[in-house]
Amino acid sequence: MKHVEVEVKFPLLNADELVAKLDKIAEKKTEKQKDTYYVPSHRNFITQSPITEWLRVRESSKGVSLNYKDWQKKTEEENTTWCKEFETMVDDARALKEIFSKLGLSPIVVVDKARSMWTVKDVEIAVDEVVGLGSYIEFEAKGEFENVDEATKHLYEVLEGIDAKVGVQDFKGYPHLLLEKKGLL
């Protein structure tokens, strides 16, 4: 499923306990990520209903990446676990941001997070500490799956198997939640 991301995300209620458990069953990787989200002047993504597109520049210890996501959601009531995703590495974040500015793309929100990651049964499990939002857990399919439904089912099975205490599933994402918190949505 090239250029398809399948993930589920939840507020995490037992972060310390779960991190200790995951550390015992898989190798942990950590990363600080600063994600700046942009909108073009000719098509403001946050005025769409529902919001289905995001353009992000991520700065992390792995380098700088440019990412575009197109969530496959047609109505506000519909929830989806997958999007079309296109991502590439970039050499110079400052130059990219200057290009965006010259082309009329404006930054709308910054998501600052510390991420811990483990791979369990072809799933990347990420525990995020998001500035302004708190603890979250994401499950992203990394294996070979026939289709989105099979991948999504597998994600929920892994979730059940690790005894994470989670809140209501989040279908909006960190930029959306932060914009809501700031009263911009």
The CA-based dihedral angle spanning residues 10, 15, 21, 27, taken in that order and rounded to the nearest 10 degrees: 80
Bridge partner residues of 88 (DSSP)? 66
Distance of CA 4 to the CA centre of its chain: 13
**Tens place of pLDDT per residue across the chain (185 aa):** 678 899 999 999 999 999 999 999 999 999 999 999 999 988 899 998 888 899 999 999 999 999 999 988 777 777 888 999 999 999 999 999 999 999 999 999 999 999 999 999 999 999 999 999 999 999 999 988 999 999 999 999 999 999 899 999 999 899 999 999 999 88
Please name each of the domains of the chain with its CATH number. 4-181 (2.40.320.10)
As a 3-state breakdown, the chain gives helix, strand, coil percent values, each rounded to 5, of 25, 45, 30
Q: What is the pTM of this model?
A: 0.90
